[in-house]
Amino acid sequence: MNTPITATMNRTTVRLSALPVIRAWFGIASRVLPGMARRQAEHWFTRPPRYAGRRTHPVAARRETVVVDNRRIAVWQAGPVTAPAVLLSHGWGGSGVQMGSFVAPLLARGYRAVWFDQPGHGESGDGPVGLPDFVRATEALAETHGPFAAAVGHSLGAAALALALRRGVALGRVAFIAAPASMIEQAHNFARLLGITPRIREAMRRRLEHRYGVRFADIDRIEELAKLSAPALFVHDGGDTEVPFEHALRLSGRLPGAQLLKTHGLGHYRILRDADVVRTAVGFVCGDNAALPAELPVLPQPAPIY
């Protein structure tokens, strides 16, 4: 059976074959029904695609629930209750089990692993959700399951960790994997793909800013990372089409002492399952002091000329 070709955006997933119809609809609705166009854009921007990957948790785990802003967040943890804890934070459209490759290595190092389904994802329900909801979940878990000696985040889950750090949450050593640097850019990319006009895009932004009480521009103040002292590792694939590698350059350049590891051929998702990435990230958050390579796989020096 042929699998439909889809485009995974920063905020939703659509079939490529449907894009011309969607773009035509927004082109017309933006002019004659701007209110409806804004509501539809906001709907798609705040509804994550359902995770279709593996469903089995990596190890036997204790299932718990944390209530955050009237949402019931599904949380799992494994390892001794008294062991230092590491928080695993998945991204948009993902699931807690998506971070499963990190669990066993952390347990083997004597740590307690804590992972969860973000608000609006998996067993944490559905409905509209945004980055501020991710941050609130991170803050709540720091209160209920912390303190955390370290954290590993992927994509929007990594962005939530960075914002939580800026808001004063102590997370110890942090590994950011495929982290985006700008919500404004995410919104612009979303709008360009679907043919949403700048006027409707900005109306959607203002509505979301009012809902969450925070401006996209304030979320994007990555220069505030310079005030932090948390040891940080940024891991990003050079061919990531969801969040370009340039985002890692911008973020790592703002956080004092941050290390940057570039991978090749892993994209935005397979990077979470790569054995070298997992080993490097786990070693980093566990406090290994060995010098890290600048790239994985380590390229020959001097590099061959093709």
- Ordered by where they begin, the domains of the chain are 62-186+227-288 (3.40.50.1820)
Greatest Cα pair distance, the chain, in angstroms, is: 61
pLDDT class of 77 with cuts at 50, 70, 90: very high
Q: What confidence score (pLDDT) does residue 22 get?
A: 83
Cβ atoms of 234 and 68 closer than 8 Å: no
Beta bridge partners of 262: 236, 295
The chain-wide mean pLDDT, for the chain, equals 90
Q: What is the mean pLDDT of residues 271-275?
A: 96
Q: What is the mean pLDDT of residues 264-278?
A: 96
> What tokens were used for 100?
């499963």
List Cβ<8 Å contacts ≥24 apart for 105-109: 105/278, 105/279, 105/282, 106/79, 106/282, 106/285, 106/286, 107/59, 107/78, 107/79, 109/282, 109/286
Residue closest to 104 by CA, chosen among 285, 287, 289, 278: 278
Least confident of 34-48, 71-85, 224-238: 34-48
pLDDT at 8 over 80: no
pLDDT at 253 over 90: yes
Least confident of 26-30, 56-60, 187-191, 230-234: 26-30
pLDDT class of 3 with cuts at 50, 70, 90: very low
Q: What confidence score (pLDDT) does residue 4 get?
A: 40
| Helix, strand, coil percent content, the chain, rounded in steps of 5 | 40, 20, 40
> What tokens were used for 264?
């090749």
Q: What confidence score (pLDDT) does residue 277 get?
A: 97
Q: Phi/psi of residue 9, each to 5°?
A: -95, 180
Least confident of 44-53, 58-67, 223-232: 44-53
DSSP letter at 270 equals: G
pLDDT per position as a tens digit, 156-166: 999 999 999 99
Q: What confidence score (pLDDT) does residue 29 get?
A: 86
> What tokens were used for 54?
């593996």
Beta bridge partners of 267: none
Q: What is the mean pLDDT of residues 118-134?
A: 95
Q: What confidence score (pLDDT) does residue 10 get?
A: 45
- What is d(CA 86, CA 149) in angstroms, rounded to the nearest whole number? 6
> Which one is predicted more confidently, 296 or 151?
151
pLDDT at 16 over 70: no
- What is d(CA 235, CA 91) in angstroms, rounded to the nearest whole number? 14
pTM of the prediction?
0.89
Q: What confidence score (pLDDT) does residue 5 get?
A: 39
- The sign one gets for the Cα dihedral 116, 119, 122, 125 is positive
Residue closest to 156 by CA, chosen among 198, 95, 71: 95
Q: What confidence score (pLDDT) does residue 14 get?
A: 52
Q: What is the mean pLDDT of residues 259-278?
A: 96
pLDDT class of 72 with cuts at 50, 70, 90: very high
pLDDT at 216 over 80: yes
DSSP letter at 265 equals: S
